[in-house]
Amino acid sequence: MISALKILRAGPYISVQDEGRSGWLRSGVSQGGAMDGRALEEGRLLVGNERGLAALEMLGLGGRFEVMGSPLTLALSGASFAAKVEGKAIDPLTSFTLQPGQVLEIGSAKSGNYGTLSISGGIDVKPVLGSRSTHIRAGFGGFEGRLLKRGDVLPIGEAAGQSRGLSLVLEKRLANEKIRIIWGAQASLFDENELQRFIDTKFEVTHEIDRMGACLATDAAPIHSEQGLVAISGAIALGDIQVAGGGRPVVLLADRQPTGGYPRIGTIIAADLADFVQRPAGASVEFCPVSEEEAIKAYHKMHIEQMMLPEQLVRDFGDPYDSHRLLSKNLISGAVGSIRNASDKDRFS
């Protein structure tokens, strides 16, 4: 039976995303893909999907989604969204199965920006240039090359297997740490005093944030260069921090322009990109420069942690303190010795 997910209500910024399309920058097409690649990978594991299958990405607000056809296994990862099914709260980083006709309600983000809704079998839209990701500004990929809206019915691929009740137990990620950067392609256009001022400044993430980039603000004087804020146009890398004509830094993200002529003072390292994109509007950001060697080590560490994720999957067997469940288990086995005298009692107490 064909499975589908119907959009009963959609937040303002929901799109179909996967890992993105690489190898097309020379043709003017940036990679795109999920804003939080870490969340995409966590959701993929929870629902048992192969890499390359697409999920839903939500910014700030979710929606209402109805299961059609056959049962679907889903999981929420990334930013923490309020979610429920038939009044029952849904935990993040835990897979759950919905029957046809059941409705998943996802509210606003309680923390973070970008949430990922992964579905067993993936969203079965046609790949464009090797990816199912939606490039919103270019109007291709994903579901009709656009953001999702009420009434859309998303086809779901055939699931490899049921993964209901899987959870990821992850260490709590530290907040308010500085975001690590390497100095950018045009950092030499800024003198030492201005570079130092850049890393000493506490910036704030503004409401001007989308898949293309995030504008930063500060009460401090604008970043400036004696040579002017103009550079020879060149390829833009994910995480580049561009200083536009007004001296305000802009972090360029998944759907960034392929080339640009404003100077790039720094680039957020790959290992810290997920942390940055989950900083909500109003959150503070400070940057810390590291060497290329440190950035490569951090990338390798991130890669190893990603490879270890399957070992952190646990199956939810229900409430561990449920009385019926406890009575059904053999909780003690083997011989139990008695305490023979007071000295033994003291020794074992």
Average pLDDT over residues 287-296: 97
SS (H, E, C) 172-203: CCCCCCCEEEEECCCHHHCCHHHHHHHHHCCE
Task: Report residue 107 CA to chain centroid gap.
Answer: 17
pLDDT at 316: 66
pLDDT at 30: 87
Torsion of CA 280, 282, 283, 287, to 10 degrees: 110
Average pLDDT over residues 109-137: 95
pLDDT at 319: 45
3 or 160: which leads in pLDDT = 3
Q: Could you tell me the pLDDT band of residue 229, with boundaries at 50, 70 and 90? A: low
> Would the pLDDT of 80 be above 90?
yes
Indicate the pTM of the whole model.
0.85
User: For residue 9, how many other CB atoms are within 10 A of its CB?
Assistant: 15
pLDDT at 321: 40
Strands 179-183 and 287-289: parallel
pLDDT at 234: 78
pLDDT at 94: 94
CB contact burial 84-118 (16+ within 10 A = b; e otherwise): ebeeeebebbbbbbbeeeeebbbeebeebbbbbbb
CB 96 within 8 A of CB 75: yes
| 126 Cβ neighbours under 8 A, 6+ residues apart | 132
Question: What's the pLDDT tens digit per position in 158-170?
Answer: 887 666 688 988 7
**Quick one: which H or E segment has residue 108?**
strand 103-119
> Would the pLDDT of 83 be above 90?
yes
Residue 173 structure tokens: 């990620």
Average pLDDT over residues 116-135: 96
Rounded Cα distance, 317 and 125, in Å: 34
SS (H, E, C) 203-243: EEEEEEECCCEEEEECCCCCCCCCCCCCCCCEECCCCEEEE
**Quick one: which H or E segment has residue 4?**
strand 3-10
Question: What's the pLDDT tens digit per position in 146-156?
Answer: 999 999 999 99
299 or 257: which leads in pLDDT = 299
Question: What's the pLDDT tens digit per position in 173-213?
Answer: 655 589 999 999 889 889 999 999 999 999 999 999 999 99
Rounded Cα distance, 301 and 306, in Å: 9
Rounded Cα distance, 34 and 178, in Å: 23
Average pLDDT over residues 37-60: 95
Q: Could you tell me the pLDDT band of residue 281, with boundaries at 50, 70 and 90? A: very high
pLDDT at 317: 52
Rounded Cα distance, 266 and 182, in Å: 6
Backbone dihedral angles phi then psi of residue 87, each to the nearest 5 degrees: 85, -10
From 123, 93, 88, select the one nearest 103 (Cα to Cα).
88
Name the DSSP class of 302.
Answer: H
Report which residue type is found at 71: P
pLDDT at 270: 96
> Would the pLDDT of 240 be above 80?
yes
> Would the pLDDT of 6 be above 70?
yes
218 or 163: which leads in pLDDT = 218
Q: What share of the chain is helix, strand, coil (3-state, %, to 5)?
A: 20, 35, 50
> Would the pLDDT of 330 be above 60?
no
Report which residue type is found at 318: G
Report which residue type is found at 101: G
Domains of the chain from N-terminus onward: 3-168 (no CATH), 179-295 (2.40.100.10)
Average pLDDT over residues 1-5: 85
Question: Measured between alpha carbons, how far is residue 46 from residues 19, 29, 112, 221, 311 in Å?
Answer: 16, 31, 20, 46, 12
User: For residue 125, how many other CB atoms are within 10 A of its CB?
Assistant: 20
> Would the pLDDT of 4 be above 50?
yes
CB 93 within 8 A of CB 64: no
Rounded Cα distance, 288 and 269, in Å: 10
pLDDT at 1: 60
